[in-house]
Amino acid sequence: MTTSRSSKGADRAARDPVARPPRGRDSARRDPLTAAHRRLLERTAHLTADGPRWGSGQFFLARPLGLADEEEFKGRWVAHYADTIRAAAREAGIPEAVLAGIAYQEAGGKPEWMNTAVGWVRRWGLSSRHPDKTSYGPMEVQVRRAAEALGYDPENLAPAQRRRIVSSLKDPHQGIVIAAYHLRDVKKETSFAHKEPDRMTPEEGRELAARYNGGPYWRGPQAQRYARRYERDLPKAIAALGRA
């Protein structure tokens, strides 16, 4: 039996959460968004951020008291957003396992209100760091890196653009896709820039993780510690991805 092209497309859309068409009108069209950002909003408009959340209660119970299982949360978070992780990795040309491994590292940690507070302090000049170096969302991507990944000029962001970028980073589905876009950009700076995802080595995946954390300082001790944790926890991330 043959399958029509339209039914094949519908079947693929059902499996690929970021390939499905939008439902309803995109209110962001009034803003000066880039084509890439508008497309991201349209493709994720039908998705809901209904996954597990790591809030203040878990944060204060996990770290000092050991009463919240952060590792268990990380696994549940990756499993819940596995379809988006797979779709975003496929589109960006990076291995699913690499994106899942980085998502596993970033999930949990500090609650989002702490990032918002840091951004507020920096915007009001109470810190020497630029506010666009603040990371937001479950994937902890800096505003300036997200801007680059979405096709903005990070040196000339309008306030409305900055607000929409931060809003997208805080959305789990959009944040995962932006992180994948950023990894795509990072990969272009490596010696394996033109390698297909299925031909990348574990060492190259580890390098991407270090670059994700450290940027130009990826060879430094902090980024290398992150890469070692990524490598250590990668089997857990892959297992969580497979549970979905």
What is the DSSP secondary-structure string of 13-61?
HHH-TTTSPP-S--GGGGS---HHHHHHHHHHTT----S----HHHHHH
pLDDT at 11 over 80: no
Domains of the chain as residue ranges with CATH: 53-243 (1.10.530)
**Which is nearest to 34 in space by CA: 170, 124, 137, 162?**
162
Contacts (Cβ under 8 Å, ≥6 apart) of 231: 202, 206, 209
Give the whole-angstrom CA distance, residue 158 versus residue 153: 10
Q: How far is the C-alpha of 8 from the C-alpha of 167, rounded, in Å?
A: 33
* pLDDT value for 61: 66
How distant, in Å, are the alpha carbons of 107, 145, 184, 187, 197 from that of 194? 29, 21, 11, 8, 9
pTM for this one?
Answer: 0.83
Measured between alpha carbons, how far is 72 from 201 in angstroms, rounded to an integer?
27
pLDDT on residue 115: 78
Confidence at residue 4, expressed as pLDDT on a 0 to 100 scale: 47
Average pLDDT over residues 46-69: 73
The confidence score (pLDDT) of residue 28 equals 38
**Sorting pLDDT into bands at 50, 70 and 90, what band is 14?**
low
Stretch 11-37: mean pLDDT = 60
C-alpha span between 119 and 139 (Å, rounded)? 16
Residue 54 exposure: Cα atoms within 13 Å on the Cβ side:
30
CA atoms within 13 A on the CB side of 147: 22
Yes or no: say if 102 and 236 are a contact pair by the CB < 8 Å rule. Answer: no
Quote the radius of gyration of the chain (alpha carbons, Å).
18
* pLDDT given for residue 237 in this prediction: 98
